[in-house]
Chains A and B, each alone.
Chain A
Amino acid sequence: AQTVTQSQPEMSVQEAETVTLSCTYDTSESDYYLFWYKQPPSRQMILVIRQEAYKQQNATENRFSVNFQKAAKSFSLKISDSQLGDAAMYFCACTTSGTYKYIFGTGTRLKVLA
């Protein structure tokens, strides 16, 4: 069975600083995908970044990047130059080609301090 664990219920960061959100996962499949989603107060789920397990290179999207450690089954999200608009819930998720199921972590609430 797949599991996704986010051990930080809440994090804070000063505006313009860098913050890292942690995520660990477990799956027995070799073909899987990892995602970070952002949920602002509007409730809409927004894809932040994605990573295919077979790619060794860490994904990057502007100020967002991941540290994908396949052997450790770790998938952390780094937000650089944090902005007030980054304040939201962030969810880590995993899906595999075999199960077609997406499993989400419990989320990390990020607060950005002015």
Chain B
Amino acid sequence: NAGVTQTPKFQVLKTGQSMTLQCAQDMNHEYMSWYRQDPGMGLRLIHYSVGAGITDQGEVPNGYNVSRSTTEDFPLRLLSAAPSQTSVYFCASSYQGRGSYNEQFFGPGTRLTVL
């Protein structure tokens, strides 16, 4: 049971480049989400998904795309990277249902630098 995995762990991009951050979970969780963490800002929700084929925007969705074709995978796409997207990105998943604690499980994070 690997939990939530993220790749890559580190990435440096040039302004205007595109890339995809990968996230996968093996716990059969319906809910998956992407956050960015910036100093003094805590974790801010970018996009989330409540199941395969269903995604929605969080607090800071601009510049990012997501899709959820399977329960296991939830990739985050940066279409045209900007220096403002320099951040640490976390993927998380959880089971959603009454009677559960709805605890989120986090991946190890990706540190992204945009030059």
Contact = CB atoms under 8 A, between A and B. Distances in A.
B110 to A, nearest CB: 10
Given A33-B101, A33-B102, A45 B90 contact: yes
A68 interface: no
A66 B50 CA distance: 29
A97 interface: yes
B101 A50 contact: yes
Contacts of A47: 103-104
B42 A102 contact: no
B42 A95 contact: no
B98 A97 contact: yes
Nearest to B104: A102
Contacts of A104: 35, 42-44
A50 B44 CA distance: 20
Interface string B19-50: 00000000000010101000011111100101
Interface in B63-115: 88, 90, 92, 96, 98, 101-104, 106, 108-109
A103 B90 contact: no
Contact of A100 (B96, B103, B109): B96
Contacts of A43: 88, 108-109
Interface of B: 31, 33, 35, 40-45, 48, 50, 58, 88, 90, 92, 96, 98, 101-104, 106, 108-109
Top 10 A-B pairs ranked by shortest CB distance?
A45-B106, A106-B42, A104-B43, A104-B42, A43-B109, A33-B102, A107-B42, A50-B101, A100-B50, A105-B42
27 contacts: A43-B88, A43-B108, A43-B109, A44-B106, A44-B108, A45-B104, A47-B103, A47-B104, A50-B101, A50-B103, A91-B42, A93-B104, A95-B102, A97-B102, A100-B31, A100-B48, A100-B50, A101-B58, A102-B33, A102-B45, A102-B104, A103-B45, A104-B43, A104-B44, A105-B42, A106-B40, A106-B41
